Structure 1
Amino acid sequence: MNTEKWSSIKAKQSPVLRNKQCAVLVPLIENNGNLGVLFEVRSSKLSWQPGDICFPGGGRENTDISFEHTAVRETMEELGTSKKQIQMLGRLDYVESPVGVTVWPFVGMIEAGCIHISKQEVQEIFIVPVSWFLTQEPEHFCMEIATRPAAGFPDVIAKQLSWQWRKRSSYDIYMYQYENKTIWGITAHIVKNFISQYRRIEMT
């Protein structure tokens, strides 16, 4: 055995789940001295999660030089802003979804009055004051994850392990109810992290 070559292997992650890599922007807007967080309501015409509340963002493309580039590009497309109208501030903790998506969130300021939403992707936008989030703890729930064999899964394995197809683990779900808007899931998880960082950076 070639011990030298074996010892030179640089181990890297070999994921079982092939997560889609995405990036979003947490857009901050200042209006009359009040800082707010902008949210999108996804167009009802979209095939994936129509009507959901989210941040501008999407999947990383081969031409994107970084996840920050992805977040800015998607924000420009969805909100109709130019790059110079977005002031990037920093990044937040990335979030791994059990449905196979890894989301890289960034925070940035957007100039008020420069937004022209893409009706193909965005049904509407709304703004929640940061001060509201500072006084509201999100509701907390749990979602269970279970495994089950897909069509075509070998019977020789399924029969041996049939008793194991059950709940494997659970994960946290957060929810904010702002007026008639329900902010939940990954978006609420990102908001919770943003507010935590906001308190640490701006209030201490």
Structure 2
Amino acid sequence: MINVGSAVVNSLLLAFATNNSNGFSTFRNKQPTSITITAPIINNIMTDERMIAGSNGDIISRLRSLGMDKKELKRHARLRRASILVPLFERSHHSNSNNKDASPAASSSSNIHVLFTQRLSNMASHAGEVCFPGGVQDTEDCQDDVQTALREAYEEVGLENQYIDCIARMNTVESKHSLCVTPIIGWIHPPSKAEPSELQLNAEEVDIAFAVPLQYFANPTNCHSIDMYKWKGGNVEIRTYLYDDPESGRQFKIWGLTAHVVHKVAQLAFGGGEIKTKSECMFPYCK
């Protein structure tokens, strides 16, 4: 599992290395032992947006327009590669007292959620942190960023790639550990496959799986803070979200690269961000 909350700013970006997040619904790992999972062969599925109810079909079409071609700077080419999966799915049932109306462009009826995991509290590194499924590229991935994301999602939460439509590839980000991280947006269908209660969590890595309404991250008032740091002649934005989960009664912290990625996805999904097909900066919100 890669901790995607860390980005390039040496010790300063321990913030980017920390992916604490809050989930809309929480499910704890109930398996007494870890599961052994072998990554399956990639199945390419294609979601028909016409079959998705309401505004969600438009949202998926908008995200898909980002494309699946590589988006990275040349300086990333020599870095060790890693990928994360940003799993999105529809939810017909949820109670969200914290899901404030996002923006004028956001539909209040959107029920798209994002799946996160939280690492075990006894891990040697990044203990108890929240992150997306992901990890470092293995030789078995054949230098395929999408395969890496799918394999890691299968190993960590048992999410089979036959239920994942990889709809977009986001700009790469250089991590604190000199990794070139590629976020892959995946649409899960049927949505029940992404429900936390349906997942097979890897008991050696994952403590909890949970889902957060994507629209929550499109509302600027939900961002607890934005800290600015100097790095290589530019400024870096570090976002922090503090989310009170009504189901678990816990407050979760989402910040660093995880916050950047999910915020960007929400912007693109609800029309608050420009669809770009080329990487313009090696670091999130580098100005």
TM range (shorter): 0.7 to 0.9
Instruction: Report the Cα distance in structure 2 between the residues aligned to 1:170 and 1:133, rounded to whole angstroms.
Output: 22
2:220 maps to 1:136: yes
Asked if 1 retains the 8 angstrom alpha-carbon contact of 2:83 and 2:137, the reply is yes
Ranges in structure 1 where 5+ consecutive residues have no aligned partner: 1-11, 146-166
Give the C-alpha shift of residue 135 in structure 1: 1.9
Q: CA deviation at 1:169?
A: 6.5
Measured in 2, the distance between the counterparts of 1:42 and 1:129 equals 20
Taking the aligned partners of 2:236 and 2:263, their CA distance within structure 1 comes to 15
More strand by share: 1
Residues 170 and 132 from structure 1, CA distance in 2 versus in 1: closer, same or farther, beyond 3 angstroms?
A: closer
CA distance in structure 2 between the partners assigned to 1:71 and 1:19 by the alignment: 17
* Alignment pair present for 1:38 and 2:103: no
Please, which of 267, 276, 281 is the counterpart of residue 196 of structure 1? 267
Compute the displacement of 1:201 (Å).
Answer: 9.1
Match status 1:181 vs 2:181: no
More deviation, 182-191/96-105: 96-105
Pair 192,14 (structure 1): closer, same or farther in 2 beyond 3 Å: closer
Q: Is the 8 A contact 2:173 2:180 kept in 1?
A: yes
Question: How many residues align structurally?
Answer: 169
Cα deviation 1:37-95 (Å, max 9, x = unaligned)? 11111122322211111100000011113101000000011111222122221111221
Letter in 1 for 2:81: Q
1:1-20, aligned counterparts within 5 Å? 19-20=79-80
Instruction: Point out where structure 2 has 5 or more consecutive residues left out of the alignment.
Output: 1-72, 93-109, 245-250, 274-287
Q: Match for 2:242: what amino acid?
A: Q
1:21 to 62, 77, 81: 81
TM-score normalised by length of structure 1:
0.72
Equivalent residues of 1:45, 1:120 under 8 A apart: no
Structure 1 residues 14, 87: CA separation in 2 closer, same or farther (over 3 Å shift)? closer
Q: Which residue of 1 aligns with 2:169?
A: 91
CA distance in 1, matches of 2:75, 2:229: 25
Aligned-partner Cα distance in 2 for 1:81–1:141 = 34
The alignment's C-alpha RMSD in Å is 2.8
Q: Distance in 2 between matches of 1:124 and 1:183?
A: 15
Q: Which residue of 2 aligns with 1:172?
A: 237
SS in 1 for 2:220: coil
Please give the per-residue CA displacement for 1:98-126, whole angstroms capped at 9, x wherever unaligned: 44222100111223244121121111012
Residue number in structure 2 paired with 1:80 = 158
